[in-house]
Amino acid sequence: MTTSLILTLIVIGLLAGFLSGLIGVGGGIIMVPLFLLFLGLTQHQAQGLSLAVLLPPVTFMAVYNYHQAGAIDWRFALIVSAVFIVGGFIGSKVALSIDQHTLKKVFGGILLLIAAKLILGK
């Protein structure tokens, strides 16, 4: 690995971690586009790498801060995390069966819909 590649990975990780702690996003919304733009990965590679980054407990300290502030309902977290595993498995199978061009359009469309809802919503 080159020094510039390592620095790019560090910047992407810091930015995704910071934004994850700040506004609760990081994986799909931050890392995937940055992996595409700065590393030249395919959509499948970027999504897979984003998910791989989440394997270790990367959000432990951020979750700890929110827990200390009383901002997490652990009943909700346990239910969502349990079905998240199933949804992630099914979603990854579907994503890998779609060609990269179509997958990029789906990904971008979902980001646009979320952005419009957040910007135009109440």
8 A C-beta contact, residue 95 and residue 103: yes
For residue 72, the model assigns a pLDDT of 92
For residue 88, the model assigns a pLDDT of 87
Domain count, the chain: 1
Which residue segment(s) compose the domain that 8 sits in?
3-120
Tokens of 26: 């990081």
SS3 40: coil
pLDDT along the chain (122 residues), means of 10: 93 85 76 91 91 78 91 91 88 92 91 91 82
